[in-house]
Amino acid sequence: MTDSSHLTLMDLALDEARAALSTGDVPIGAVITGPDGSVLATGRNEREAHGDPTAHAELVAIRSAARALREAGTDDGWRLEDCTLVVTLEPCAMCAGAIVLSRIPRVVFGAWDEKAGAVGSVFDILREPRLNHWVEVYPGVREEECGRLLSEFFRARRQK
């Protein structure tokens, strides 16, 4: 069930995705809220900006959230328990693995990724029963808008 906070947080994730366009990165954005529901961290794809193949929006946000929790003196800082990740595209296998390892209990995403998605499209890592952590998933939040942003980006790249 999608609630109004998911829609509002997806606005922030879409803003991050649009900001990725300024560096030529694929427009994917992410937001992580803390246990109290406030924004703890944001991220956008930065692979082109930093020449880092692991700089996906989710990983940028996870690193930032862990740093914020550590600086706030919350536990050890790397367990993002009771946080929520909102991202414009279904996470890939690398990001899904990081979500599991960081113990994020909820993921909200926009567009499905039929080629590389690891939350139901190609794999379902977040709900793999053999892993030690499972994630509640809210798919398809503002799916059309998230998908259109990506489609327009790739259409423009093909035309160049």
* Whole-number pLDDT of residue 2: 59
CA distances from 122 to 4, 5, 27, 91, 113 (A): 28, 28, 21, 11, 8
* Whole-number pLDDT of residue 67: 93
* Whole-number pLDDT of residue 76: 73
* Of 33, 7, 17, the residue nearest 142 (C-alpha): 7
* Whole-number pLDDT of residue 73: 84
Instruction: Confirm whether residue 83 is marked as ligand binding.
Output: no
Contact indicator for 141, 109 with CB cutoff of 8 Å: yes
* Whole-number pLDDT of residue 1: 46
pLDDT tens for the chain, 160 residues long, are 457 889 999 999 999 999 999 999 999 999 999 989 999 999 999 999 999 999 999 999 999 999 999 998 876 778 999 999 999 999 999 999 999 999 999 999 999 999 999 999 999 999 999 998 989 999 999 999 999 999 999 999 899 7
Give the pairing of strands 39-44 and 136-138: unpaired
Superfamily of domain 4-159: Cytidine Deaminase, domain 2 (3.40.140.10)
Alpha carbons 57 and 94: distance in angstroms, whole number: 11
* Whole-number pLDDT of residue 72: 86
Domain extents in the chain: 4-159
Residues with active-site annotation: 58
Instruction: Confirm whether residue 92 is marked as ligand binding.
Output: yes
Instruction: Confirm whether residue 146 is marked as ligand binding.
Output: no
